[in-house]
Amino acid sequence: MEASQFREEREAPVGGSAELVGSDFVVPLRSPWRLFWDRFREDRLALLSLAFIGLLVLVAILAPAIVSILGAPDPNARDTAALDPLFATPTGPSADHWFGIDQLGRDVFSRTVYGARVSLVVAFAATALATVFGVVAGLLAGYYRGWTDTVISRFVDVLLAIPYLLLATGLAAACTLGQTSGGGGAGCLGGLIEPGLGVVIFVIAFTSWTYMARIVRGQVLSLREKEFVEAARSMGASDMRIVFRELLPNLTAPIIVYASILIPQVILYEAALSFLGVGVGSDTPSWGQMISEATPVFADAWWYMLFPGLALVFTVLAFNFVGDAMQDALNPRKRRS
């Protein structure tokens, strides 16, 4: 649906200008990406969000430099002297520790800065992996139909029938078990996927590719009947060429839109897994895990849950604004806001 609208939009200046032939009025030809960008630019909130995401990526990459330039301690350094002298409880924001410290005396500010790394790496990697899974499965199911379609679509049905959060936590726990409980080897698929970041990315991608597959399959089912596919086939193009060189480029728009919607969901997903204790290991600061550690002390140490929580909300919100604006820019007839 999105793809065909996108294509119509591109052809509109040509088809729509039929009555203008001969007049002086010339419709400037703009590339579809140019059109898309022009519409996207109208949304101020989305532009602001895009800038925020760019800044966040920089913060994530330069985290060590930022922390040392600002004179904040290392994220894993334990400043036990800063703990409350009487009860050894975390203390709040101060000149030494801008966002306060946690139960172990670790600096909440530098942990929040470093936390951006896990969130963004998982967000991009898991989304990319889920997109590749979903697109390939959808292309094959939609193009070959018949048995291929039945097998892929039924598998998607089965996966959608399993509560995804339980499946993901269970799988992540099972893949990490060997490490914590001394139960032999750790990891998944015979050590192919290692505990930690690898397991988290794999588990999220494995439970997130299904909708992408359904969307792509639906698009391909109608696209494969179009003349340009027939033309390619009559010229002797192989199946692989038709699928990846003819069909895939026409699906760019819906794929990008859906991937951009997936990113904020994946960030929340990673935070949830970390909160439940099956995320990246505890030496790597992550926002979800910080909130999890803050849970037993949240009533007194409000700063420990507040800052990583705000970081999460702003990040996810920025990605959501961008995703929304992209959807609107690709579907001008169906504006949302």
Partner 1 sequence: MARYIVRRLIWALLMLIAVSGVVFILFYVFPSADPAQLRAGRQANEDQIEAIRESLGLDKSVLEQFWIYLKGVFTPLDLPGTDSTGPLYLGHSYQSNADVKDVIVSDLPATALLVFGAVIIWMAVAIPTGIISAIRQRSLLDRSTMITTLVFISAPVFWLGLVALYLFAQDVGVIPVFPGIGSYATADTFLSKCASMILPWLVLAAATAAIYARYLRSQMIDVMQEDYIRTARAKGLPEKRVIGKHVLRSAITPIVTLLGLDVAVLLAGNAILTETVFNIPGIGAETFNAIKRSDLPMIQGITLFGAFFIVTLNLVVDIVYAYLDPRVRYE
Contacts with partner 1, residue ranges (CB under 8 A): 45, 154, 157-159, 161-167, 169-171, 173-175, 177-178, 180-191, 264, 268, 271-272, 275-278, 288, 291-292, 294-295, 298-299, 302, 305, 309, 312-313, 316-317, 320-321, 324, 334, 336-337
Can you tell me whether residue 88 is helix, strand or coil?
A: coil
Q: Cβ(330)–Cβ(253) under 8 Å?
A: yes
* Least spacing, CB of residue 23 vs partner 1, in Å: 31
CB 81, min distance to partner 1, A:
27
219/320 with CB nearer partner 1: 320
To the nearest whole angstrom, how small is the minimum distance from the Cβ of residue 268 to partner 1? 6
**Is residue 225 classed exposed, middle or buried when 0-12, 13-18 and 19+ CB atoms within 10 A define those classes?**
exposed
Q: Which is nearer to partner 1, 46 or 67 (by Cβ)?
A: 46
The encoded tokens of residue 256 equal 């990008």
285 and 3 Cβ atoms separated by less than 8 Å: no
For 92, the 3-state DSSP assignment is: coil
CB nearer partner 1, residue 250 or residue 260: 260
Q: How far apart are CA 215 and CA 256, in angstroms?
A: 12
How far is 234 from 115, CA to CA, in rounded Å?
Answer: 54
- Decide: residue 74, CB within 10 A, 0-12 exposed, 13-18 middle, 19+ buried: middle
Please report how close the Cβ of residue 299 comes to partner 1 at its closest, in angstroms.
4
**Which residue type occupies 24?**
D
In the numeric block, which tokens belong to residue 24?
């002086």
CB of 189 to partner 1, least distance (A): 6
Q: Are 262 and 326 in contact (CB under 8 A)?
A: no
Residue 311 CB, nearest distance to partner 1 (Å)? 10
Q: Print burial letters for 152-174: b (CB count within 10 Å at least 16), e (below 16).
A: bbeebeeeeeeebeeebbebbbe
Considering beta carbons, is residue 238 or 295 the nearer one to partner 1? 295
d(CA 27, CA 36): 17
Nearer to partner 1, 67 or 319 (CB): 319
User: What minimum distance in Å lies between the beta carbon of 105 and partner 1?
Assistant: 22
Identity of the residue, 175 or 251, whose beta carbon is nearer to partner 1 in the bound complex: 175
Select 143 or 202, whichever has its Cβ closest to partner 1. 202
